[in-house]
Structure 1
Amino acid sequence: MEQRKWLNSAEQCKANLAAVGDALYAIGGKWKLMIIVALMDHPKRFNELQRTVTGISARVLSNELKDLELNGFVSRTVNNQYPVVVEYSLTEYSLSLEDVLKALGVWGKMHRERIRKMK
């Protein structure tokens, strides 16, 4: 296997492993990126978000939203009217994931087609 240009030393490999570990800590898991994608078109209330991200439980969605908020990707807005309305929206910082999400989308489509051809 050929060595990749961006991993041409043990120190660079270690640094990249740490960086990927940090990224996976912030956005890893099954749901976080899907929640971010679901919020791209407009802010959503909790139930709308749960309907959009098919298969996620309320408890998991709540926990993931808290993690995304702590990491600066999502903001939570409480409108003190009756009834109380809570909306979730993306922050400016979440725009830093645009290239990552595009690359994952392109790769995901390519992978799906590859798997379909194998069957």
Structure 2
Amino acid sequence: MSTVEEAEKGVEMFSRYDLGGRLLTVNKAAPRGSPPQRVFEPSFRIYVGNLPWEVDNGRLEQVFSEHGKVIDARVVYDRETGRSRGFGFVTMASETEVNDAIAALDGQVRALGIV
């Protein structure tokens, strides 16, 4: 970037930008030898384990959206086989929504509609 303002705008625009299913981490570069400056935003990410093999991203998002605004929902797949690894992550819009979703869904396989 040619100015500090452009760099700050780039960080703002592309931090957590979804690129090919992965959220980018974008920070300003620090001069050599100085510690990196990281901008940490609160994350409202939930680990979801023991998922039935049939659950995909859409179903995971659908179930959690009943408990708040879902920013992202991803089932983790094996790179070689393409099969679900049985877990995923859901990012909600707020801490309250995270807590509500956990309270409602923890241990609830039936909520996924695959029993």
Is this a same-fold pair by TM over 0.5?
A: no
Q: TM-score, normalised by structure 2?
A: 0.26
Hey, which of these two has a bigger chunk of helix by percent? 1
Q: TM-score, normalised by structure 1?
A: 0.25
